Amino acid sequence: MSDLQNTAVLGAGVIGMSWAALFLASGRNVAVFDTAENTEAATRSYIDMAWPALRELGFLKTGSPGRISFHSSPADAVRQAEFIQESVPERIAIKHALFAEIEPALKADAIVASSASGLTLSEMQEGWSDPSKLVLGHPFNPPHLIPLVEVFANARTKDGVIDRAERFYRDVGKITIRLRREVPGHVANRLQAALWREALNLVMSGVASVKDVDTAVWAGPGLRWAAMGPTMLFHLAAGPGGISAFCERYSDSFNRWWDDLGRLHFDEAMAKRLSEEMAKEVGGESTAELSAKRDALIVAMQKAIGHVRSE
């Protein structure tokens, strides 16, 4: 059990509010700082929205939405905190300025984890006079529902900090993976980027509509990927010979497909095409309605997966 009971959430946007809900649900105290004026109302309303799903997932053993406090400076928010999750915008200057402001106020044993999606730990360490408390703790949206957190520390991180951070994440219900070396986008975003590049290539080259490419993912391989990773699935795709038999049977096919994959760069035409096709697909549904639908599906899947995994 992690001893880190007092948390702080810096930046309470899409990601920070979701972290706050999860930390509260796990019985932690949460101190919040965000520069926006409506932070308290928006965060409380997000937590009310997230609470039923967290209850359904069995997270509310000791949690209470009342253990949250809102602060007028980041230094105030972190002063009592043992674990701080930073989720301010993905701009290095903003992260550096925030780190400089909190560094003198941190407890000696505090851990600061950054949600950064693509910025690397070493880039972020440049904002510290002593970056030994900083780790990468990259979640997937929304962090209160998707289990994955990618963690990374390097030689400038104090010994033991990454182990304590992973223990904390496991305690609040997360599944962690550890990077062995840093790369922009870490692991999971690079995987998403690789798949999405080809999805857009198929759309832009006239092979299929946005809707059909999306369907090909969620109704096909996506369902399997939620059960097991791609290499394990291929291990099961060529009979009892496992992955060796699969490589023997399909390496020529993969080489042919890899050689033909698109190499795109985002441009205006692509953004316009996506907006037009999405407008048709979405119809009148708001992003809030679609997010609620997404969250209900994720909760249902999580419950099913959790049940099978715990057997």
Ligand X SMILES: NC(=O)c1ccc[n+]([C@@H]2O[C@H](COP(=O)([O-])OP(=O)(O)OC[C@H]3O[C@@H](n4cnc5c(N)ncnc54)[C@H](O)[C@@H]3O)[C@@H](O)[C@H]2O)c1
Binding site for ligand X (CB under 6 A): 10-16, 33-36, 74, 87-90, 94, 98, 115-117, 138-139, 141
CB nearer to ligand X: pick between 57 and 98: 98
Q: Are 15 and 143 in contact (CB under 8 A)?
A: yes
The 3-state DSSP class for residue 50 equals helix
Phi, psi at residue 70, to the nearest 5°? -115, 135
Which residue's CB atom is positioned nearest to ligand X? 13
Half-sphere exposure of 92 (CA within 13 A, CB side): 11
How far are the Cα atoms of 102, 119, 181, 283 from residue 137, in angstroms, in the given order?
18, 12, 14, 36
Q: Note the residue count of the chain.
A: 311
Smallest gap from Cβ 150 to ligand X, in A, equals 10
d(CA 196, CA 150): 20
CB nearer to ligand X: pick between 11 and 127: 11
Q: Supply the DSSP symbol for 158.
A: P
What kind and span of H or E run contains 67?
A: none
Environment class of residue 277 by beta-carbon count within 10 Å: exposed (0-12), middle (13-18) or buried (19+)?
middle
The 3-state DSSP class for residue 238 equals strand
Smallest gap from Cβ 284 to ligand X, in A, equals 24
CB nearer to ligand X: pick between 28 and 138: 138
Smallest gap from Cβ 291 to ligand X, in A, equals 12
How far are the Cα atoms of 214, 261, 288 from residue 211, in angstroms, in the given order?
5, 20, 20
Q: What's the token pair of residue 93?
A: 């200057």
Closest listed residue to residue 193, CA positions, set 115, 263, 290, 272? 263
Q: What's the token pair of residue 196?
A: 């999405």
CB nearer to ligand X: pick between 40 and 277: 40
Smallest gap from Cβ 1 to ligand X, in A, equals 26
CB nearer to ligand X: pick between 127 and 246: 127
Angle between helices 188-204 and 268-282 in degrees, nearest 10: 90
Closest listed residue to residue 168, CA positions, set 82, 43, 235, 286? 82
CB nearer to ligand X: pick between 131 and 139: 139
CB nearer to ligand X: pick between 89 and 230: 89
Classify strands 134-139 and 111-114 as parallel, antiparallel or unpaired: parallel
CB nearer to ligand X: pick between 69 and 117: 117
